[in-house]
């Protein structure tokens, strides 16, 4: 089983619909992140959370909201989806105590907004 699990893996929706992408992790990490990936733009940080009571905006938070329901769960919502939110979304976790500082990514959620 994956350590960082995202659902759904693929979703097609229409403009104006509310969408939620969910992320759960079994790594026991406090830090969780949501990134968006578009072709040619790398990964851009949407929101990040250091613990259940700590939520922070990233580079491109407009049009998105998040909820940290528990240490292991971090969900991303699009209140009213628009076509330019079509992208591949990644959830990630990290442990500030590790030497490498690496992020551990989920498998990604591909969202298409028509």
Partner 1 sequence: EDKVVQSPLSLVVHEGDTVTLNCSYEVTNFRSLLWYKQEKKAPTFLFMLTSSGIEKKSGRLSSILDKKELFSILNITATQTGDSAVYLCAVEGGSGNTGKLIFGQGTTLQVKP
Q: By CB under 8 A, how many residues form the interface with partner 1?
A: 25
Count the Cβ atoms, other than its own, within 10 Å of residue 28. Answer: 10
In angstroms, what is the minimal distance from the CB of 59 to partner 1? 8
Asked if residue 47 lies in contact with residue 56, where contact means CB atoms within 8 angstroms, the answer is: yes
Site string for partner 1, 70-89 (x = CB under 8 A): --------------------
Site string for partner 1, 21-40 (x = CB under 8 A): ----------x-x-x----x
The answer to the question of residue 107 lying near partner 1 (CB under 8 A) is yes
Which residue pairs, CB below 8 angstroms and at least 24 apart, start in 55-62?
A: 58/33, 58/34, 60/36
Sign (positive/negative) of CA torsion 85, 6, 95, 66? Answer: positive
The answer to the question of residue 55 lying near partner 1 (CB under 8 A) is no
Asked if residue 112 lies in contact with residue 86, where contact means CB atoms within 8 angstroms, the answer is: yes
Q: Where does this chain bind partner 1 (CB under 8 A)?
A: 4, 31, 33, 35, 40-45, 48, 56, 58, 90, 94, 96, 99-103, 105-108
């Amino acid at each position: 089983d994956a350590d960082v699990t995202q659902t759904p893996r693929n979703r097609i929706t229409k403009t104006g619909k509310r969408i939620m992408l969910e992320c759960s992790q079994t790594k026991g990490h406090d830090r969780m992140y949501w990134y968006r990936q578009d072709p040619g733009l790398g990964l851009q940080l949407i929101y990040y959370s250091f613990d259940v009571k700590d939520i922070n905006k990233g580079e491109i938070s407009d049009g998105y909201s998040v909820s940290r329901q528990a240490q292991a769960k971090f969900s991303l919502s699009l209140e009213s989806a628009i076509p330019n939110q079509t992208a591949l979304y990644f959830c990630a976790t990290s442990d500030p105590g590790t030497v490498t500082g690496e992020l551990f990514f989920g498998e990604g959620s591909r969202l298409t907004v028509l």
